[in-house]
Amino acid sequence: MSKQHDIVASQDNANEYDEDTIVNPSANPHFEDVLAARLSRRVALKGGITTAASALLGGSILSACGSSDDSPAPAPAPAPAPAPQPAPLKIGFNAVAKNKNDLVTVADGYNVSILHALGDPMHFGDESWKDDGSETADSYNRRVGDGHDGMYFFGLSDAGAFDAKRSDRGLLAVNHEYVVAPYGLHPAGRATGAARNATEVEKEIYAHGVSVCEVKRDATGTAMSMVRGSKYNRRVTSATTMDFTGPAKGSAQLQTLFSPTGVQTRGTNNNCANGYTPWGTYLTCEENYLNVISRAAGDDALRSGAKEVASLSRYGLPQNRKSPYLWETAGTADLFARWNSSVTGAAATADYRNTINTFGWVVEIDPFAPDSVPAKRTALGRFNHEGAWPAEAVAGKPIVIYMGDDSRNEYIYKFVSKANWDAADVGKGMAAGAKYLDEGTLYVAKFNADGTGNWMALTFGANGLTAANTTYAFADQADVVINARIAGDILGATKMDRPEWGAVHPTNGEVYMTLTNNNEANRVPPTSTPTGRQAKPDAANPRYYEDMKGTASQKGNPNGHIIRWKEDAADVTKLTWDVYLFGAQADAAADVNLSGLADSNDFSSPDGLYFDKRGMLWIQTDDGAYTDITNCMMLAALPGKVGDGGVANAAGGTQTIAGAKATSDTLRRFLVGPKECEITGIAMTPDYKTLFFNVQHPGEESTPDWNAKTFGSYWPANQADPTVKKRPRSATVVITRKDGGEIGI
């Protein structure tokens, strides 16, 4: 952030995104609300189930009340009066129909407004978005970035500290995963030519990363606006200086011209999903960093040997590989040259051969300290990090964080801290991060066919991860975390159907993770012999089928599924799993539609996932298989628990363990997004009255006509007025209930 824009917090609460709020007309009370109130009283009176969460775990609410609801409840004992019980959680909105509208269509009774979109200025002194790509490159150090993705809401106290209970004022941290090439940033898409235009590339470098902005409710409601000019508003970009911490800090594999000692780097990139810590910091996760990293022809021969080449290959960077963004072609300035991960100097301290190793990490940012230096926490391993989801912190127990490597046939990981949680560390920012995230054990998951699973430690010296290993001779723990994928290969981890988001059930601690899809090149038929990194279906990734109903035939597991597991209470290396939910079209064959999805809740390619503290699970889609029928969507779910279903035979003939089938009471579509977008990123205020989600890359699949100004989507400008036609932009959406109540129930 430059000095001239480091402006003190302003009283001006104007939202830069000024399209009118859409108001849905209906706020009728729902039948479910009435039923919930009734059921609540009955559950309390019968005394058999003591909490809302446990009421759900034994089965659906309908089965809990269906058998005896018509008979009078037994008369309550005259004394003592039963203690008041919380109402059982019920989904309380009507399902939104699948549609292809160029709008956010949310359930009746809810409002939609836009918090911020690509290019909105976060400070005073920069002009508003002009819709013509004329914004300066430098101004993107102070504007909202592109490709909104994972995010988190941190309550902000009057004293400027983290307050986990505060709902009316907070800091919203948002990932800006990538720039949507045809739209938004530049005057008329990306300039053509072998070398990139330097101004365009500089703008793109600043439009990646993370934004932190203060958000505030006005006095009249639960909707939120960005506080423009707040002293907390901050951009972290692909050029921001950050530290390496943990076992890989100072490793020779992290040495660069910028940091010859390997203790710092610049930039976080392709920040997909996220996490948060109980001490009040944000975790942003580096996923598709190969978008921006190139490697020269003939580079293998210049490397130190086979081990270094094996690492580059396993992380997807063969020699003579040009990145899609070609940032390194924009000029010889360090800002650009560093994206060429090739040997160009006499030593690693004189070039950027190690750029590849400086990405693929979990990065911690303290949103409450705008001048703090972000840290790449290397103990959590290097891979295509989708996100980092913490289990509930328990005093005196380690911090546990679950992670997935979002590539086809990659692995699921968890990190268990060495230090035990002490609630006195809340608010201690990066110092607390150093305490909990720099020392611990990284594990990789194996899912066995019988429903059990194993967490295998990626610890140097254990499990064959030694210098004597004939596949890859590990030098130390730095080598293990930098090459976590290779360590996972050696340990026989289970190849998954692209791990995306995770979420931990707030009361029973079971962990859910979306496996968004897999294709025929990687998840091959059960009858074939896999080669390379291909995998046959297995119990945890069981389906192989052909989706003939989409715009094009897709084979493999085109609709994805959601796995879940329960940790063993006594042994940190053991788990029990099932498949909670299978994505499918409602009219698919029974061995594809294994979860019994219907029109009100069918979906494809689950991606974003979020448990609110009440126990409602929110599922978002990033789909390319069902898009002839519907745009991407968000659903609300009330899951049961591991083992609530049974053995099932999946399409292709592989046996699996499926969770209980979904019903309209346990899974319901809440909203549908605009054209050609992905729905991603979920955050909620602690009072459940404001929900944030992101629309990423609306209109991305169409080729724009810059003269006629025709685009594949005109969202978000058209949300309030369908006749408005402006460039599509990624944006954060605010959902509130028209009557001000809790969302979803």
Cα–Cα distance for residue pair 549/100, rounded to 1 Å: 16
Cα–Cα distance for residue pair 335/115, rounded to 1 Å: 31
Cα–Cα distance for residue pair 212/204, rounded to 1 Å: 18
Cα–Cα distance for residue pair 127/272, rounded to 1 Å: 28
Smallest separation, CB 490 to ligand FEO (Å) = 25
- Helix 306-314 and helix 484-491, axial crossing angle in degrees, nearest 10: 90
Find out whether 173 and 372 touch, Cβ atoms under 8 Å: no
405 lies in the binding site for ligand FEO (CB under 6 A): no
Q: Kindly state the tokens that stand for 733.
A: 């959406």
Instruction: List helix spans (H) across 492-574.
Output: none
328 lies in the binding site for Ca ion (CB under 5 A): no
607 lies in the binding site for Ca ion (CB under 5 A): yes
For ligand FEO, the closer of residues 496 and 638 by Cβ is 496
For ligand FEO, the closer of residues 272 and 348 by Cβ is 272
177 lies in the binding site for Ca ion (CB under 5 A): no
Residue 287 binding target from ligand FEO, Ca ion, none, CB below 5 to 8 Å by type: ligand FEO
Window 260 to 299, contacts with Ca ion (CB under 5 A): 272
Residue 177 binding target from Ca ion, ligand FEO, none, CB below 5 to 8 Å by type: ligand FEO
Is it true that the peptide bond before 722 is cis, omega within 30 degrees of 0? no
Neighbours of 497 (CB within 10 A): 27
Cα–Cα distance for residue pair 121/12, rounded to 1 Å: 13
For ligand FEO, the closer of residues 300 and 386 by Cβ is 386
- Of 257, 272, 393, 432, the one binding ligand FEO by CB under 6 A: 272
For ligand FEO, the closer of residues 474 and 618 by Cβ is 618
Amino acid symbol at 133? G
Cα–Cα distance for residue pair 428/435, rounded to 1 Å: 10
Q: What is the 3-state secondary structure (H, E, C) of 414-440?
A: EEEEEEECCHHHCCCHHHHHHHHHCCE
622 lies in the binding site for Ca ion (CB under 5 A): yes
H or E stretch at 37: helix 31-46
- Of 386, 405, 578, 623, the one binding ligand FEO by CB under 6 A: 386
- Of 146, 202, 438, 500, the one binding ligand FEO by CB under 6 A: 500
Smallest separation, CB 700 to ligand FEO (Å) = 13
286 lies in the binding site for ligand FEO (CB under 6 A): no
- Of 146, 163, 177, 410, the one binding ligand FEO by CB under 6 A: 177
Smallest separation, CB 697 to Ca ion (Å) = 11
Residue 102 binding target from Ca ion, ligand FEO, none, CB below 5 to 8 Å by type: none
Smallest separation, CB 147 to Ca ion (Å) = 11
Smallest separation, CB 632 to Ca ion (Å) = 10
Smallest separation, CB 550 to Ca ion (Å) = 17
For ligand FEO, the closer of residues 609 and 743 by Cβ is 609
Q: Using only C-alpha atoms, what is the Rg of the chain?
A: 25
Cβ density class 230-250: b for 16+ within 10 Å, e for less: bbbbbbbbbbbebbbbbbbbe
Window 477 to 516, contacts with Ca ion (CB under 5 A): 500
- Of 32, 243, 364, 406, the one binding ligand FEO by CB under 6 A: 406
**Site residues (vs ligand FEO, CB under 6 A):** 177, 272, 287, 386, 406, 500
**Site residues (vs Ca ion, CB under 5 A):** 272, 500, 607, 622
